């Protein structure tokens, strides 16, 4: 915090007294010492109200930044999440998605086009089923499909389906993708699949994501469907931030 670092020594001393909890060492102060310290604090605050305000503002910003970074770390904890693209991707797009979401289906083609054009970019789908019970079934199937290495085909079929989905739709998409149905149905209900969904809900809560789609690219959260041009621009920004 540059502003905090520039405070005069007296500012640091008084600030520490104001905001640090009482401790045993302060018990050694005489009543006169305490009165002098209290007077010093009052004088400092009176003469420097903007400094105290700025320090508190800087602290609030720092706390907010720390919360955001912790939230992004939750998003990037993508073990078990369905994904398309190289494991060592230079840039990863995280998409909070629901298979009943029309806007998710609208952005699907642009995301696939980006992946085709940029082989060093990966898409991680954070299954966030919030629109219907059938969304939960589809999300579980997507996570289970990843474990059979057949997620891209399943995802394509689900995203190009028109209309509301149900369990029959999900199983049909699974068969089209060449999934082993018995294994799929078992994996859909196991602890690993449920933990992936729980982890995604926690990340969404931390980032205050309440709808789909929502993209995280670099340190940017973008709610709603955006254009291919905007996606490419965000990817370029993420690349630049790494250099």
The count of structural domains within the chain is 2
Domain C-terminal end among 21, 42, 68: 68
pTM of this structure = 0.76
Same domain assignment for residues 43 and 82: no
Mean pLDDT, range 118-134, rounded to an integer:
98
**What pLDDT band is residue 98 in, cutting at 50, 70 and 90?**
very high
Q: What is the mean pLDDT of the chain?
A: 88
Q: Which of residues 35, 50, 68 is at a domain's end?
A: 68
**Do 122 and 230 lie in a common domain?**
yes
Check which CATH number belongs to the domain holding 192 and give it: 3.40.30.10
Residue 5 in this model has a pLDDT that exceeds 60: no
In a domain, 73, yes or no: no
Over residues 31-43, mean pLDDT: 77
> Domain limits at 172?
78-242
The residue among 33, 68, 103 that closes a domain is 68
Amino acid 229: pLDDT: 98
State residue 223 phi and psi, 5-degree precision: -80, 140
Cα–Cα nearest to 193, from 129, 103, 107, 106: 129
Give me the pLDDT at residue 20, please.
52
pLDDT classification of 27: cutoffs 50, 70, 90: low
Scored b (16 or more CB within 10 A) or e, 27-52 reads eeeeeeeeeeeeeeeeebeeebeebe
The confidence score (pLDDT) of residue 140 equals 99
Residue 111 has pLDDT above 70, yes or no: yes
Verify that 218 and 143 share a domain, yes or no.
Answer: yes
The reply to whether 210 and 90 lie within a common domain is yes
State the pLDDT at residue 4. 46
């Amino acid at each position: 915090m540059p502003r905090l670092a520039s405070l005069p020594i007296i500012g640091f001393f008084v600030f520490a007294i104001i905001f640090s909890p009482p401790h045993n060492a302060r018990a050694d102060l005489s009543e006169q010492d305490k009165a002098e310290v209290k007077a010093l604090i009052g004088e400092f605050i009176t003469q420097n109200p903007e400094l105290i305000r700025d320090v508190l503002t800087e602290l609030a910003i720092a706390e907010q930044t720390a919360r955001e970074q912790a939230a992004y770390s939750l998003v990037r904890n993508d073990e078990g999440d369905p994904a398309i693209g190289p494991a060592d991707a230079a840039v990863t797009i995280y998409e909070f998605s629901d298979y009943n979401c029309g806007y998710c289906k609208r952005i699907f083609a642009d995301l696939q086009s980006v992946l085709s054009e940029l082989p060093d970019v990966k898409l991680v789908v954070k299954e966030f089923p919030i629109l219907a019970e059938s969304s939960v079934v589809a999300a579980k199937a997507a996570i289970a499909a990843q474990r059979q290495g057949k997620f891209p085909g399943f995802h394509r079929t689900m995203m190009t389906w028109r209309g509301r989905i149900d369990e029959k739709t999900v199983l049909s998409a699974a068969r089209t993708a060449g999934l082993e149905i018995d294994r799929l149905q078992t994996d859909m209900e196991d602890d690993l699949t449920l933990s992936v969904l729980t982890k995604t809900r926690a990340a969404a809560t931390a980032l205050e994501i309440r709808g789909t789609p929502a993209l995280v690219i670099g340190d940017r959260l973008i709610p709603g469907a955006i254009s291919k041009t905007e996606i490419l621009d965000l990817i370029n920004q993420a690349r630049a931030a790494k250099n």
